[in-house]
């Protein structure tokens, strides 16, 4: 049977888990004849894969829907039809409001229902009824989605192994938008990773909102830890690099730290959010760790893997945060030293406990604190990058850069690396010498144009 070709446009907001979900949604729609397009105006189906984490992120959606209304009207005037779908975390959190506020939307689908997408799209197109599916179904979306189709892959891929969160930090919407913690079974992950590796993927980043709380069912019917899962994945010969994100300090177990020492395929980079440096604020955030716990944890990780590059997430201006408490955040940053970091002004999110605290801070205070924090973080990132000058690193080249003949890749420490070289190096791990370190990337000369075997890469 042949299906007529239809066009699908997906715009992705938010975290890497949404990037992964977008790929899976595109794959789910392929059997119904949908082919990806970069042109929203030509699409039969438009999906916005949304993020609810901060106010700015979710407000973007409504302005985007205004733009899509014009696209849809124009297409209708030409006799065409566009189905507009809102997916992702705003869909989950505000599904009914979207339907009420944005008549342009035909379909709202939450992150746990993507395996039902083809059927929902079919029904929305056929009946002309506006549909909403924001259940947390019993059946896992992963089991319901078609196997990954991986014709030609970029050298680096995401793979979601865990979803949802039971931690309930008081500022955060994720437990409400993604639901309870769920870990995919080991066999399912190994099969997916092997398919990706067979398609030429060299590096996989395992994803989860709480990836180090992973506890999926192993082949022995026991619950496996992330450390066990990583060790198993390291045994896939053609897979050369592994990473995982995002980790919670409380779930950074000894066996996981040990894998950083023992597995050369596990890259020396760890994203470990601490959010705030004051113990009072950490308690109010329900983080369940102190600043000192974090420092001691970092010490243990660095003992296991001395060159590890640390990255973090920080929130400034949590309700009631005093100047001194903010200073404690700066102090913790100074004590740890990060290679990279993401920092945000606190954003009150509907339905979260912190949003109803009456000690919300003025925007100007948050702006000033964020600027001071970012100045410190930028300086740390710059000195980390500069310190790489003159060293040799193994870089996985991923794509062409903006300049002619320029390639862009990633160092083991996840820095973007630019070098001049032939396109044939894309997809290979190549020895380079770093000639300059900038604020956001490194410049390098290529030392040898043959793919570095694992042992040689690890020895650099
Ligand atoms: N699961 C991860 C983070 C998920 S959200 C973890 O626990 O670390 C990514 C980051 O967004 C968080 O680490 C936090 O720094 C930030 N964030 C979450 N909610 C926020 C809010 N209400 N306001 C500002 N930043 C927020
Ligand atoms: Fe949000 Fe906290 Fe869960 Fe991270 S651990 S997703 S910040 S509730
Ligand atoms: Fe945003 Fe949802 Fe990810 S709220 S950060 S897209 S889990």
The Cα–Cα gap between 179 and 93 comes to 11
Residues contacting 196, CB < 8 A, separation 6+? 148, 150, 153, 157, 159, 204, 239
pLDDT (tens digit per residue) in 198-214 = 999 999 999 999 999 99
* pLDDT confidence of residue 3: 58
Expressed in angstroms and rounded, the spacing between residue 435 Cα and the centre of ligand 2 is: 39
* pLDDT confidence of residue 143: 84
Q: Where in the chain is the domain with CATH 3.40.50.12160?
A: 6-133
Ligand 1 lining (C-beta closer than 6 Å): 53-54, 171-172, 174, 209-210, 246, 248, 273, 275, 313, 315, 344, 346-347, 349
* pLDDT confidence of residue 144: 87
158 contacts 205 by C-beta, under 8 angstroms: yes
> Tokens representing 260?
């950083």
Q: Where in the chain is the domain with CATH 2.40.50.140?
A: 392-459
Q: Where in the chain is the domain with CATH 3.80.30.20?
A: 141-386
Concatenate the DSSP letters of all residues of 89-104 into one string: HHHHHHHHHHHHH-TT
Q: Is the pLDDT of residue 2 over 60?
A: no
* pLDDT confidence of residue 147: 83
Judge residue 304's burial from the number of C-beta atoms within 10 Å of its C-beta, 0-12 exposed, 13-18 middle, 19 or more buried.
middle
Beta-bridged to residue 378, according to DSSP, are: none
- Which region among 36-40, 148-152, 201-205, 392-396 has the lowest average model confidence (pLDDT)? 148-152
Q: Is the pLDDT of residue 181 over 50?
A: yes
Beta-bridged to residue 432, according to DSSP, are: 393, 446
Q: Let me know the angle formed at the C-alpha of 155 by 43 and 386, rounded to the nearest 5 degrees.
A: 110
Ligand 3 lining (C-beta closer than 6 Å): 14-15, 17-18, 51-53, 88-89, 173-174, 177-178, 209
Expressed in angstroms and rounded, the spacing between residue 172 Cα and the centre of ligand 1 is: 6
Q: Which helix (H) or strand (E) holds 218?
A: none
Choosing from 14, 93, 173, 175 the residue with most ligand 2 atoms within 8 A of its CB, the one to mutate for a pocket test is 175
* pLDDT confidence of residue 61: 93
Expressed in angstroms and rounded, the spacing between residue 172 Cα and the centre of ligand 2 is: 6
Ligand 2 lining (C-beta closer than 6 Å): 165, 167-169, 172, 174-175, 209-210, 248
pLDDT (tens digit per residue) in 304-360 = 999 999 999 999 999 999 999 999 999 999 999 999 999 999 999 999 999 999 999
Expressed in angstroms and rounded, the spacing between residue 64 Cα and the centre of ligand 3 is: 18
| The model scores a pTM over 0.85 | yes
> Tokens representing 400?
């062409």
* pLDDT confidence of residue 14: 95
Q: Write the secondary structure of 56-68 as one string of H (helix), E (strand) and C (coil).
A: HHHHHHHHHHHHH
Ligand nearest to the CA of 275: 1
pLDDT (tens digit per residue) in 83-99 = 999 999 999 999 999 99
* pLDDT confidence of residue 454: 86
Taking the alpha carbons of 17, 157, 378, 266 in that order, is the dihedral positive or negative? Answer: positive
33 φψ region: left (φ > 0), alpha (ψ -120 to 50), beta (else): left
Q: Is the pLDDT of residue 256 over 50?
A: yes
Measuring from atom 3 of ligand 3, which residue has the nearest CA? 15
The Cα–Cα gap between 149 and 77 comes to 35
* pLDDT confidence of residue 137: 81
* Residue 17 alpha carbon, nearest atom of ligand 3: 3
Expressed in angstroms and rounded, the spacing between residue 181 Cα and the centre of ligand 3 is: 14
- Which region among 133-142, 262-271, 321-330 has the lowest average model confidence (pLDDT)? 133-142
The Cα–Cα gap between 256 and 252 comes to 6
Q: Is the pLDDT of residue 64 over 80?
A: yes
Which is higher by pLDDT, 52 or 59? Answer: 52
Residues contacting 129, CB < 8 A, separation 6+? 123
* pLDDT confidence of residue 30: 93
Beta-bridged to residue 217, according to DSSP, are: 223
The Cα–Cα gap between 58 and 13 comes to 9
Residues contacting 316, CB < 8 A, separation 6+? 326, 329, 343, 344, 345, 346, 366, 369, 370, 373
* Residue 246 alpha carbon, nearest atom of ligand 2: 4
325 contacts 275 by C-beta, under 8 angstroms: no
What ranges in 150-201 are assigned the alpha helix state H?
A: 174-177, 186-198
Expressed in angstroms and rounded, the spacing between residue 431 Cα and the centre of ligand 3 is: 35
User: For the structural domain made of 141-386, what CATH number should be given?
Assistant: 3.80.30.20
Average pLDDT value over all residues in the chain: 95
Concatenate the DSSP letters of all residues of 193-215 into one string: HHHHHHTT--EEEEE-TTGGG--
User: Binning pLDDT at 50, 70 and 90, where does residue 151 land?
Assistant: low
The Cα–Cα gap between 144 and 118 comes to 11
* Residue 111 alpha carbon, nearest atom of ligand 3: 2
* pLDDT confidence of residue 150: 65
pLDDT (tens digit per residue) in 111-132 = 999 999 999 999 998 888 899 9
Q: Is the pLDDT of residue 51 over 50?
A: yes
> Tokens representing 370?
């964020």
* pLDDT confidence of residue 1: 47
CATH topology for the 392-459 domain:
OB fold (Dihydrolipoamide Acetyltransferase, E2P) (2.40.50)
* pLDDT confidence of residue 139: 77
From residue 314, alpha-carbon distances to 250, 297, 307, 401 in Å are 16, 17, 22, 30
CATH topology for the 6-133 domain:
Rossmann fold (3.40.50)
What ranges in 337-451 are assigned the alpha helix state H?
A: 363-386
Helix, coil or strand: residue 137: coil
* Residue 171 alpha carbon, nearest atom of ligand 1: 22
Expressed in angstroms and rounded, the spacing between residue 110 Cα and the centre of ligand 3 is: 12
């Amino acid at each position: 049977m042949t299906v007529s070709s239809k066009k699908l446009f997906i715009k992705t907001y938010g975290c890497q888990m949404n990037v992964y979900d977008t790929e899976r949604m595109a794959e789910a729609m392929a059997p119904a004849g949908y082919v990806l397009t970069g042109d929203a105006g030509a699409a039969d189906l438009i999906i916005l894969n949304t993020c609810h984490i901060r106010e700015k992120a979710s407000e973007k959606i409504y302005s985007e829907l205004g733009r899509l209304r014009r696209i849809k009207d124009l297409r209708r005037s030409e006799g065409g039809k566009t189905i507009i779908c809102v997916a992702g975390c705003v869909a989950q959190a505000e599904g009914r409001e979207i339907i009420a506020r944005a008549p342009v939307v035909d379909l709202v689908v939450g992150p746990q229902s993507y395996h039902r997408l083809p059927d929902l799209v079919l029904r929305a197109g056929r009946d002309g009824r506006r549909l909403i599916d924001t259940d947390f179904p019993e059946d896992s979306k992963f089991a319901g989605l078609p196997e990954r189709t991986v014709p030609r892959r970029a050298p680096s891929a995401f793979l979601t192994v865990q979803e949802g969160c039971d931690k309930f930090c008081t500022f955060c919407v994720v437990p409400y938008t993604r639901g309870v913690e769920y870990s995919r079974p080991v066999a399912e992950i190994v099969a997916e990773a092997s398919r990706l590796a067979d398609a030429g993927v060299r590096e996989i980043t395992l994803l989860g909102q709480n990836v180090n709380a992973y506890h999926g069912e192993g082949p022995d019917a026991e619950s496996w830890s992330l450390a066990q899962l990583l060790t198993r994945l390291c045994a896939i010969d053609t897979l050369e690099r592994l990473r995982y994100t995002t980790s919670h300090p409380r779930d950074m177990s000894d066996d996981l730290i040990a894998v950083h020492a023992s597995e050369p395929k596990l890259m020396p980079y760890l994203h470990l959010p601490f959010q705030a440096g004051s113990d009072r604020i950490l308690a109010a955030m329900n983080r369940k760790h102190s600043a000192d716990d974090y420092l001691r944890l970092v010490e243990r990780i660095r003992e296991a893997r001395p060159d590890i590059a640390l990255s973090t997430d920080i929130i400034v201006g949590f309700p009631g945060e005093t100047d001194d408490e903010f200073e404690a955040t700066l102090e913790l940053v100074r004590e740890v030293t990060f290679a990279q970091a993401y920092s945000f002004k606190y954003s009150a999110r509907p339905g979260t406990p912190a949003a109803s605290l009456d000690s919300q801070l003025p925007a100007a205070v948050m702006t000033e604190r964020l600027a001071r924090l970012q100045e410190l973080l930028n300086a740390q990132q710059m000195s980390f990058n500069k310190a790489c000058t003159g060293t040799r690193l193994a870089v996985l080249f991923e794509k062409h850069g903006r300049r002619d003949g320029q390639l862009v890749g990633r160092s083991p420490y996840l820095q973007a690396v630019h070098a001049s070289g032939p396109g044939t190096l894309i997809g290979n791990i190549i020895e380079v010498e770093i000639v300059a370190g900038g604020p956001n990337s490194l410049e390098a000369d290529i030392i040898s144009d043959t793919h570095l075997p694992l042992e040689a890469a690890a020895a650099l």
